Amino acid sequence: MGALVALTDAAVLARVSPQTVRNYIRDGRLKTGMRTPAGRYMVDREEVLAVFRPVRQPRIIVLANQKGGVGKTTTVQELGVILGRDVRTLLIDVDPQANLTKLFGIDREESGSLSIADVMLRRKSLREVWVKIDPPANLWLVPSCLALGLVPIHLGQQFGADFILRDAVQKVRDDFDFIIVDTPPSLDRLTLNALGCANEVIIPIDKGPLGIRGTENMETILEQVRAYNQDLRSVRVLHTKSDNTVASNTTRDLLERRFGPNLLRTAIRSGTKVAEAAYQAQPLQHAFPESHPARDYQELAREVLGGGS
């Protein structure tokens, strides 16, 4: 038997209500369920994951903002590294800058090496292209490369060109609990493909009035995306690079007023360790797990896990 978790944590992992977990224990579908002397249910987390996998829907989260440098890629990497310790997680790099790919120390620039570009050109499946990241134990990455930038030109006005990624993701969705997609700082066809397969969108915003104004285009696009993606359930905003400056505090106030419950509670603090970890070619979680932004990402992962969509 592996690690035991409390019933409420099991419910979060299984993405069902605590009552459902309790029912599974009562009728014997969860065999390791037991009650502590204090009357609390405890269950084996591996068994919970295995038993509930068929009924769980994977969560497909897309990080998007046409403004550059707001922390999209850093957030995808950090969430991937944290979630990938416990649940099966696939990261997809849909940015021709390939920053996420490079942050994991992977290079797909040599001709002939496989990347998301092959998937977008319908030559390969995600499964043929993804690579295992290790650690953590349950993390995979679909790498990108510069040539992805030419794909929209190749696709031209082809019918269905905005749904290529959605079709590819459909084929592997049952293999994962989380699929997290990084997008370029633009609202082009690559970003539209990513938004087309999202259940949830997270828009990171850093300080400054331009950051908030920049979301207006995003909101217009998301309205259009909703017309063809009925699975898009939530759009939330993440305050990144926060610090105690007037600009940052003003941003927080504005974000709270503008987005209300759709503003993620966790803000990611600014810290020099983010860039330092990148120079070491290590995720922040591994290089500086105690730094402020690393701890904020741990909190964000809890919020994302707990909140559902």
Bridge pairing between strands 131-133 and 34-35: unpaired
| Least Cβ distance, residue 76 to ligand ATP (angstroms) | 8
- Check binding of 271 to ligand ATP (CB under 6 A): yes
Among residue numbers 83 through 142, which ones bind Mg ion (CB under 5 A)? 99
Residue 293: CA count within 13 A, CB half-sphere: 28
Interacting residues of 97 by C-beta distance below 8 A, sequence separation 6+:
144, 146, 184
- Check binding of 241 to ligand ATP (CB under 6 A): yes
Cα–Cα nearest to 197, from 176, 220, 167, 153: 167
Per CB under 6 A, the segment of 43-51, 133-141, 188-196, 267-275 that binds ligand ATP is 267-275
- Check binding of 73 to Mg ion (CB under 5 A): yes
Q: Distance (Å, rounded) from C-alpha 207 to C-alpha 70?
A: 9
- Check binding of 88 to ligand ATP (CB under 6 A): no
Closer CB to Mg ion, residue 76 or residue 179?
76
- Check binding of 270 to Mg ion (CB under 5 A): no
Among residue numbers 173 through 202, which ones bind ligand ATP (CB under 6 A)? 185
| Least Cβ distance, residue 100 to ligand ATP (angstroms) | 8
Q: Distance (Å, rounded) from C-alpha 70 to C-alpha 206?
A: 6
Whether 94 and 169 have beta carbons less than 8 Å apart is answered as no
Whether 115 and 143 have beta carbons less than 8 Å apart is answered as yes
Cα–Cα nearest to 95, from 139, 168, 149: 149
Per CB under 5 A, the segment of 73-81, 125-133, 134-142, 225-233 that binds Mg ion is 73-81
Q: Distance (Å, rounded) from C-alpha 83 to C-alpha 303?
A: 12
- Check binding of 96 to ligand ATP (CB under 6 A): no
Whether 140 and 104 have beta carbons less than 8 Å apart is answered as no
| Least Cβ distance, residue 159 to ligand ATP (angstroms) | 29
- Among 278, 300, 304, 305, indicate the residue that binds ligand ATP (CB under 6 A): 278
| Least Cβ distance, residue 100 to Mg ion (angstroms) | 7
- Among 12, 21, 52, 74, indicate the residue that binds ligand ATP (CB under 6 A): 74
- Check binding of 72 to Mg ion (CB under 5 A): yes
- Check binding of 78 to ligand ATP (CB under 6 A): no
Q: Is the Cα dihedral 193, 198, 201, 204 positive or negative?
A: negative
**Where on the chain is the footprint of Mg ion (CB under 5 A)?**
72-73, 99
Binding residues (CB under 6 A) for ligand ATP: these are 68-74, 95, 97, 99, 185, 240-241, 268, 270-271, 274-275, 278, 293
